[in-house]
Amino acid sequence: MCGRFNLRTPAAQLAAFFDIVFDPPLQAALAPRFNIAPSQPVLIIHEQAGRNSADLVCWGLVPGWARDPEIGNRMINARAETVAEKPSFRAAFRHRRCLVPATGFYEWQKTGGQQKQPWHIHHPDNSPLAFAGIWENWEGPDGSSLQTCAIITTEANSRMSPIHHRMPVILQPDDFATWLAPQSDQHDSLESLLVPCPDDTLVTRPIDTWVNRPANEGPDCLRPPPDPPTTGGRLFE
């Protein structure tokens, strides 16, 4: 799964990587965030009027047919294997795909005890990650609207599998246009993108349990643990 991530990449670098021009109010809101959790605002990139556009939306997808927006609390991830068919996700997968920018993400490894070991996963050079996502616009009976998203996950590659059996789908820049094209109905081409990234794409590092609380924010989320794990998980360089 993907239940927590960070976005620390400067806005100018994000703009270049995703070929986008941020509106000044949005760019001003893109301060570094070290512990992004479900139900919080997240940045998405989607196609609008033939060009890439950016918005802040709520993490946790609410289908258009939902009566209660609280359903989004349970829909932070969509499985690559079922996203095209599952009623909650299939309309968004067909018409409203997006990219969710990140610098790294967190996963918790079972260690045999009661407490799990958190790991930080990122590119070796901390360049941006582009998670495959879907988004929706929900309208309430009172006329209110809510934009939401979910991150698509796939089976873990061999680098991630000692930590967790799932990971987010991470797209490469050459695939952005295909993924974002809103009218694309070539399901085979789209689903072929929903695979684990190559093993050498990412590095994984154990971090302190301070990151466990979603309320904790700041660089301390990335600090090393006082006693790095020596068994079970492997420190991948």
Q: Cβ neighbours of residue 73 under 8 Å, at least 6 residues apart?
A: 38, 39, 60
> Catalytic positions, please?
2, 107
The rounded distance, in Å, linking the Cα atoms of 103 and 18 is: 13
Token pair in block for residue 166? 């799932």
pLDDT in tens, the chain (237 residues): 789 999 999 999 999 999 999 999 999 889 999 999 999 999 999 999 889 999 999 999 999 998 888 888 889 999 999 999 999 999 999 999 999 999 999 999 998 778 899 999 999 999 999 999 999 999 988 888 999 999 999 999 999 999 999 999 999 999 999 999 976 667 778 999 999 999 999 999 999 999 999 999 999 999 999 987 754 444 443
- Residue 73's pLDDT is 86
Every domain of the chain and the residues it spans: 5-104+126-198
- Residue 235's pLDDT is 45
Fold of 5-104+126-198: hypothetical protein yedk fold (3.90.1680)
The rounded distance, in Å, linking the Cα atoms of 65 and 52 is: 27
- Residue 132's pLDDT is 98
237, 203 contact by CB (below 8 A): yes
- Residue 182's pLDDT is 79
SS3 75: coil
Q: Cβ neighbours of residue 76 under 8 Å, at least 6 residues apart?
A: 1, 2, 3, 38, 59, 60, 61, 150, 151
For the entire predicted model, the pTM comes to: 0.94
SS3 85: coil
CB-neighbour burial class of residue 210 (10 A; exposed 0-12, middle 13-18, buried 19+) = middle
